Structure 1
Amino acid sequence: MDKVRLGLIGGGPEAFIGQVHRYAAFMDNQYQLVCGVFSRDQQKNHEAGEQLLDNSSRAYSSIHELIEKESALPEAQRVEVIAIVTPNISHFEFASAAIQAGIHVFCEKPATFTLAQSRQLQQQLEQSPVLFGLAHTYIGYPLVQEARQRVIAGELGDIKKVVVEYSQDWLAAKLNNQDSKQGSWRLDPNMAGVSCCVGDIGVHAANLAEFICDMPITRILADLASVEDNRQLDDDAAILVRFKNNARGVLIASQISVGEENNLSIRVYGSKAGLHWQQQQPNSLRIMPGDQPAQEIRTGFDYLSDEAKRFTRTPAGHPEGYIEAFANLYSAFADAVKRARTHSVKHSNANGVPGITEALAGMQFIESSVKSSQSGNQWLALDTFDPGSNK
């Protein structure tokens, strides 16, 4: 198989999310890891190169050295995609440099440190054939795709109400995680940006709601808090939302809800029916018609939409989860990169993978949530971005 040549920025062997990206990229045998900048600590960077690369000399000291030396290689050997899995502060610098060098980018969310930087990336991409993918993992689940298709088909009728929740407990003080490596940078405004909880998980919840409902959030009223003492950024959020059709919504995001693991769930209520999906039980989708018994939709059956089938890997009754969902995005991005080798494509044509449109929407959601909360919980209007523009 002609694999896509991948470079990793950040995500050395000890990094949780870096390991997840590697698992996802390698699952379908579509990528070969050829180079990287795995750590700012050059000893750790060298050790990671020895462990992860066939040629450890391609473990570079910086993104700039990577671009310079990879660009000097024959086209058939040089890196094609870089995956950015560093703290938020460096996303824009690395993505911008890669785009300028003509290298495709797959980036952790949020895409940038500020909305202004996301707009700069958009301008760069408009002038470039480079593809840009964003790691909104949860739309990679088959039944999230199915939920969206049932909304689009009108099975729920007019959307009236959306309740989306993403609750965790790993930043609760009683769990003694405040000083962990993962927690420390996410709670540091110089590394994470204006928000911890909303920027880390609230933006996932917003993206999931916009994707399934096939329409953007247009207004929000946010109440963010640092529930635990001595934190500069939020660890808990409650946000009222309005969608393009004026549907009402509630978004809950929390990293201090003791007892919660990774509780991402969504309920969508229309004029004809409702639906319910939970990330911790991802192979089931509950459809709730107003005049019939509720139905449980399961993965692996022929009655599912083509979109859900495309992201389904195993027969019914064989559970699929987070890594598989992530791998679905990586594989879809690889297909787009391979197509771009021989065809002219635009940045918004990344085979359904979230991209710069979702990056803009996400950064605006984060910054507006903070602004709404700090201004006394005022309603704020958002620019509308078409959530389907990256098909």
Structure 2
Amino acid sequence: MNTLKMGIIGGGPGSMIGDIHKITATPSGKAQLVCGAFSSDPKKSQEKGKSLGLDQNRIYDSFQDMIYKESKLPQAERMDFVAITTPNYLHAEVSKLALEAGFHVMCDKPLSFDLEEAIDLQKVVRKAKGIFAMTYTYRGYPLLKKAADLVASQHLGNIRKVRVNYSQGWLSNMIEADGHKQALWRTDPTKSGNGGTIADIGTHAFNLLESVTGLRVSRLCADVSTLVKGRQLDDDTNIILEMENGAKGVLSVSQICTGEDNDLSLQIYGDKAGLVWDNSQPNELNLKYPDFTTDSIKSIEKEGESMTEVNIPGHSPYFTEGFQNIYEAFFKAIENHDKPLTHSFMLPGIEDGVRGMLFIEKAIESSNKKVWIELQN
């Protein structure tokens, strides 16, 4: 397989996620960063591109300029795929433009500004030649794929109870008022959409729950709250769920849990066994049985494979491994011309993104109306 040429849109100076895309897509040698439009501010875009050693002619002032000019280059020179690391409100617009120009796309979550945009983009993806994938990062964790396999094999039996919790504390105070870059756009409804915390980490929790259990949420009753006075978007959400098989569930996400870095956990209970995974020990999966015994499954290092480890506050080294595994699945799909995507746990696609936007919209509707809401698309 020839080295794929990568472009990045977003991820300017001070951004964490853009750097993560670059360092996890390129270490295997299967991809090389060749261009980027890193900021809506041309000076900042140039600054970032130069720091990455890019040719000045391949550092663009806007994503529109980048996609147009790259599409006009000879096939051997132009980028093959683009990583979209912008705030939410640009995800769908940039994805659509890139797909229509013939590029493959790796997009951050959530998929779009709102559900209507998501459904429109889904139509574009289905017609496009390029492959569209998303970075629901925890889908790249080997032990969570193992968990999904155990559930699918009926090792747990009939699923009856599910719980997912994702707690952070970085928005415990009104840091957006002090100009905190990441907080500013994530708490701004013109940049983030109608969802704050529910969009930022709630979609992670929701996608993890559905992908590992293999079950869809059929309906929900939500309390979507803003607990820091003066904040424009939600920062705490608690939801009661009912799964399509009748199982009961709870999803809780918050970014105002003071002192918490990145506390994510998943519990699935069937009539034969229970399964427990915690991000504080991401290389361990615990199985619990009716006689109160426990089996522990631990991840095994992959021989001959080098995983990139980067120190990210609140995250384990498995976070970047998850990113890298998703990119490896993405590259394989490109190599095999796998369009439309066949189901792969480690390669989330457009359906995951649309489902996530449906979840945000229906949870907020449920909270506003204080009623149970069906979750179907």
TM-score, with structure 1 as normaliser: 0.90
2:376 is aligned with 1:379: no
DSSP 3-state at the match of 2:91: helix
Q: CA deviation at 1:287?
A: 0.4
Does the Cα contact within 8 Å between 1:70 and 1:79 map onto a contact in 2? Answer: yes
Q: Deviations over 1:337-391 (max 9, x none)?
A: 1222xxxx42324854101010111000011111111112x1100115xxxxxxx
Counterpart amino acid of residue 186 in structure 2: R
Distance 1:347 1:113 in 2: 24
Q: CA deviation at 1:178?
A: 6.2
Aligned partner of 1:118 in structure 2 is: 118
Following superposition of structure 1 onto structure 2, how do residues 90-129 of structure 1 map, counting pairs within 5 Å? Answer: 90-129=90-129
Q: Deviations over 1:125-165 (max 9, x none)?
A: 22122111111000111110110000000000000000100
DSSP 3-state at the match of 2:367: helix
Aligned partner of 1:326 in structure 2 is: 323
DSSP 3-state at the match of 1:219: strand
Distance 1:172 1:278 in 2: 22
Distance 1:339 1:76, change over 3 A: farther
DSSP 3-state at the match of 1:66: helix
2:162 is aligned with 1:170: no
2:9 is aligned with 1:9: yes
Q: CA deviation at 1:3?
A: 1.4
DSSP 3-state at the match of 1:291: coil
Aligned partner of 1:304 in structure 2 is: none
TM-score, with structure 2 as normaliser: 0.93
Does the Cα contact within 8 Å between 2:176 and 2:187 map onto a contact in 1? Answer: no
Distance 1:90 1:175, change over 3 A: closer
Distance 1:241 1:276 in 2: 18
Distance 1:235 1:54 in 2: 38
Distance 2:15 2:373 in 1: 37
Does the Cα contact within 8 Å between 1:4 and 1:337 map onto a contact in 2? Answer: no
Q: Deviations over 1:76-111 (max 9, x none)?
A: 111111111000011111001011111111001001
Q: CA RMSD in A?
A: 2.0
Q: CA deviation at 1:274?
A: 0.3
Does the Cα contact within 8 Å between 1:332 and 1:350 map onto a contact in 2? Answer: no
Q: Deviations over 1:168-213 (max 9, x none)?
A: 0000018788641101111110000001010000110010000110
Number of equivalences:
368
Aligned partner of 2:255 in structure 1 is: 255
Distance 1:14 1:229 in 2: 27
Does the Cα contact within 8 Å between 1:133 and 1:350 map onto a contact in 2? Answer: no
Q: Deviations over 1:212-259 (max 9, x none)?
A: 101111111100111010011100010011111011000000000012
Distance 2:361 2:51 in 1: 39
Q: Deviations over 1:264-323 (max 9, x none)?
A: 10000000100100112100000001135111110118xxxxxxx79x868xxxx85111
- Any stretches of 5+ residues in structure 2 without a counterpart? 308-315
Does the Cα contact within 8 Å between 1:164 and 1:252 map onto a contact in 2? Answer: yes
DSSP 3-state at the match of 1:45: helix
